[in-house]
Structure 1
Amino acid sequence: MEPSAFAFDRPLFLIGTFPVTAGHLVSLAALLFVLLAIVSARRARALRADEQTQQLTALLAAQTEMQGRIAAMADVFGTRQAELNQSLSQRIDGMTHRIGASISEQTKATHENLRRLQERLAVIDNAQSNIQSLAKDMAGLQSILANKQTRGAFGQSRMEAIVADGLPMGAFAFQSTLSNGARPDCVIRMPNGQPPLVIDAKFPLEAWNAMRDAGSPERRQQASQSFRRDMEVHIRDIASKYLLPGETQETAFLFVPSESIFAEIHEHFEAIVQKAHRQRIVIVSPSLLLLSIQVIQAILKDARMREQAHLIQGEVVRLMEDLSRLDERVRKLQGHFAMTQKDVDDILISADKLTRRGAKIEALELEPAPAHQGAREPIDKSDRTVDNRIGQLKLRVVDED
């Protein structure tokens, strides 16, 4: 189908519900021209025939021009419509591509967020499992601390771990027996023949747990009094069993296996702390025991260094003797070098004399040798001096070697 025929069939606009095409317009235009021609014919009846012929020719020319313009307009409308369709297609394609890219990126972002969410959920699950295991451990720790024997073993193990990590082997002993038959939890041997330091790890927790679990102020008050009495009895037992004059230190450690209990005692039971100080009993937590062990370790190291001080001093004395001998030998060698330098200077002087004498002899015209030619010429005194000095220099070099 040709473009003009296609343009005449396509509707250009609507009048109401009736579509108007380019063919309708052409027909309408032709009808208008026919009407104009009829009107013109009616008006020009009175004119001459040549004028009617000219008017008809002009009308036909105008009609032809109008048909050409209408055809050109139809071509322009068809071209514009094709361009519009192409532009719309390109825009629709671009929009479809952008929407697809956006949906793809959104999908990737959604998958990434879901992956991160799954990782965080996995971390939360792991943390929840750790919390559950920690709760089980806390329940086990509570059951351990509820029993007196297991509680003592727990405090003993913590204390032994701190002491064994901080001190060398041989500087401490666990469950050793004193002269009175008492068996302290730990004995730390002090340097310089000083008595050992005693550490007790049996801390009473029955009254403490009762005070913590008390539901009313009256019960808490009763549990506090019971805890105070238990602490006073335990401090008195440590002082009577482990503080032996001449055998142990004048101070002993009462180990508390919890930092929170240690803080509570110093905050709410100041009288117990003061009484322990008067009895020369120091209440220590794990951190304070670790600090004390580090101080004792430094003291032991200083004592070992003092024990080795006389050996170091002897080595220094021998080093000074070797240094004195080295200084003496260097001074002797310096004297030998000075004498050798003097001999070398004398040899150089003699060599200069011999050189000058040889130059003089070379410049002379010697006569025929006399009858006593076979006799040996006397040796110059300077030559003998050179030989003697060279021999002395060789002897000194050999002595130095």
Structure 2
Amino acid sequence: MQLYLDNASTTSVDEDVKKLFLSLLDQYYASTSSLHQQGVQALHLETEAKNQIAQLLKVSPNEIYFNSGATEGNNYAIKGVAFQYQNRGKTIITTKIEHPSVLESVKQLERDFHFKAVYLDVDENGVISLQDLQKHLNQDVILVSIMYVNHEVGSIMPIHEIHEMLKKYPKIIFHSDVTQAIGKCDIDFSDLDLATMSAHKIHGMKGCGFLYKRDRVQLYPIINGHPAQNTMRAGTSNWLSNVTIALALKKAYQHLKEDAILIRETQQRLIALLNEIPQVQVNMNAQFSIPHIINFSLVNYNPEVIIRALSQKGIYVSSKSACSVAQKDQVSSTLYAMHKDIQICISSIRISLERPLSEEEIQYFIQSLKEIIAIIRK
């Protein structure tokens, strides 16, 4: 049996998305900036995709900017706001549990460009305190960047409440990395000034995504070159992949609520069975998270050993986020911020779902985990 349970890292490419991409690849190769017929057709197809995405998100098409994904989008959103509005103030507010592309962007602005950053704490459920945010808001703040859903424990941030709070500070730009939320829970983009995502998290192609930018927001140009996309992002468009984002997003939105209910049942079943294993500690509260993520620790067990052993049985899970693992950082910054014991923080394992599991699949995972624990203990 094969069980891919690492969908928060990346997902398989949807078959219809794959077919669309290959059909486009067979027919077109011109650039969207070319004036000849092939270029005009390429631009038309990309524009149509943008219109479809905007319709799904209930935003204007000219507020969608295609890019290579959330890492680029987060860099552009944060640095673009910082450089554009630094005459207003120099303070950026974010959280301690953001994706590395957010945290490292903010740290670079602190280190190299003398901005001030506030890193908000989270509670034991991985959620920020609105009161804590409120006490840091002032006239020097130009940007609040808070993820919609955390990538390690699935905690959902109070985005609408933050939006309401920021109404008193109209000069503050509100950005959210919605990568782990889009296609999994309802997002009201009218609550946000900037939002970023990656298509490969919703069964789209890797290396593409988009930045949502409200019309009123100006971003300092970060990528310079031949003007494209209203001069904000230079370079030849990866339009073949961009066109497929619309289809991937449409399919992700089709049965969003129904899928979430069924996946929640799988999450609850897995958590109940994990809690029966003495060596396991579940690290998240399902009440405060999306149904797609389960995070647990095996204290005094090396998570890499567990992950590789599960892989030998055809079960694929992860430890923390794929980006954090690449940094060889042993401690989960999210669990550490949630005030978990250090042994919990260094032994976490993440299951991330994209569909409900059958009882047979659930039992196969649990039994495999028990067998591995018994072997390692010996």
The structure with more strand, counted as a fraction of residues: 2
Q: Which has the higher helix share?
A: 1
TM-score (norm 2): 0.21
Radius of gyration: which is bigger? 1
How does the TM-score come out when normalised to structure 1? 0.20
